[in-house]
Amino acid sequence: MPDKPQIITFGWVPEFARGFVRDIRPRWACEEVGQPYEAVLIADAKGPEHRRLQPFGQVPAYRDGELEMFESGAIVLHICEKAGKLVPAEPVARARAIQWLVAALNSVEPWVMALAVNDMFEADRPWSAMRHDKVVAALDGRLADLENALGDRQWLDGDEFTVGDLMMVSVLGGLRGTGVLDRFPRLAAYVARGEARPAHRKAMADHLATFDQPAAA
């Protein structure tokens, strides 16, 4: 049994995907709470060995002692709850932090991903250009709602950075390079604050350093 938790992720991805793979999320959580971990690099997420950990053939997956789990949101919540950090102890504040984690994944990320699918993965399809404005309008609607909810606060629930902010900043980071957040200055500043945290900088650096190593077998 490993002596520290393992984050299972890709050992190689194309250039355009670097900085966006979701192993950044548990890496960031580990850095925030001071949890050492080992990155286990794989080449094939679709094979039977990895599907035993992640039935949908995606990354990341996670091992912590006898626990094996998948889904970045669940992994991040487990890391933070186990450490007793980024999840407030007070029940109402705890519920709000988890609420925002779920909102990031359910109420924001699908619209972020819709833009990525349309403008990147399906850019060569005849409908991509026709759908672009509609996809952007739907995303803008979600971001306007989120910016309104954030208001003038530093973090989503006030002055305390929580697991909800970690996940929301990570999701909004998926818009890096698109210019979308230029229309939402408070959200852009919010993301900049999150990504400036030392734990995020370390997690991102370690994620990117993965691709300087020989490809995983």
**Statement to judge: residues 120 and 184 lie in one domain:** yes
* Euclidean distance between CA atoms 200 and 170, whole angstroms: 9
Does residue 1 sit within a domain? no
**Statement to judge: residues 162 and 187 lie in one domain:** yes
**Statement to judge: residues 96 and 193 lie in one domain:** yes
pLDDT value, residue 214: 56
**Statement to judge: residues 122 and 96 lie in one domain:** yes
**Statement to judge: residues 171 and 206 lie in one domain:** no
What pTM does this model have?
Answer: 0.94
Does residue 124 sit within a domain? yes
**Statement to judge: residues 27 and 95 lie in one domain:** no
At 176, phi and psi to the nearest 5? Answer: -55, 130
Q: Which of 29, 1, 6 is nearest to 169 (CA)?
A: 29
Longest distance between any two alpha carbons in the chain, whole Å: 52
| Full residue range of the structural domain in which residue 149 is found | 91-197
**Statement to judge: residues 56 and 125 lie in one domain:** no
**Statement to judge: residues 71 and 147 lie in one domain:** no
**Is there a contact between 51 and 57 (Cβ–Cβ < 8 Å)?**
yes
Does residue 217 sit within a domain? no
**Statement to judge: residues 183 and 204 lie in one domain:** no
- Three-class SS of 104-162: HHHHHHHHHHHHHHHHHHCCCCCCHHHHHHHHHHHHHHHHHHHHHHHCCCCECCECCCC
- Please report which helix (H) or strand (E) contains residue 188, including its range: helix 185-195
CATH no. for residue 59?
3.40.30.10
Number of domains in the chain: 2
Q: Which of 12, 79, 22 is nearest to 56 (CA)?
A: 22
Q: Which of 40, 32, 79 is nearest to 195 (CA)?
A: 32
Q: pLDDT tens digit string along 51-95?
A: 999 999 999 999 999 999 999 999 999 999 999 999 999 999 999
Give the pLDDT means over successive 10-residue stretches in the chain (217 positions): 90 89 97 98 93 95 96 98 97 98 98 92 85 95 98 96 98 96 98 98 96 62
**Statement to judge: residues 51 and 71 lie in one domain:** yes
Provide the 3-class DSSP secondary structure of residue 22: coil
pLDDT value, residue 217: 46
**Statement to judge: residues 179 and 108 lie in one domain:** yes
Order the strands of the 61-64 sheet from edge to edge: 38-42, 6-10, 61-64, 67-70
**Statement to judge: residues 140 and 97 lie in one domain:** yes
User: For 97, what's the count of Cα atoms within 13 Å in the CB-facing half-sphere?
Assistant: 21
Helix axes 24-33, 198-209, angle to 10 degrees: 140
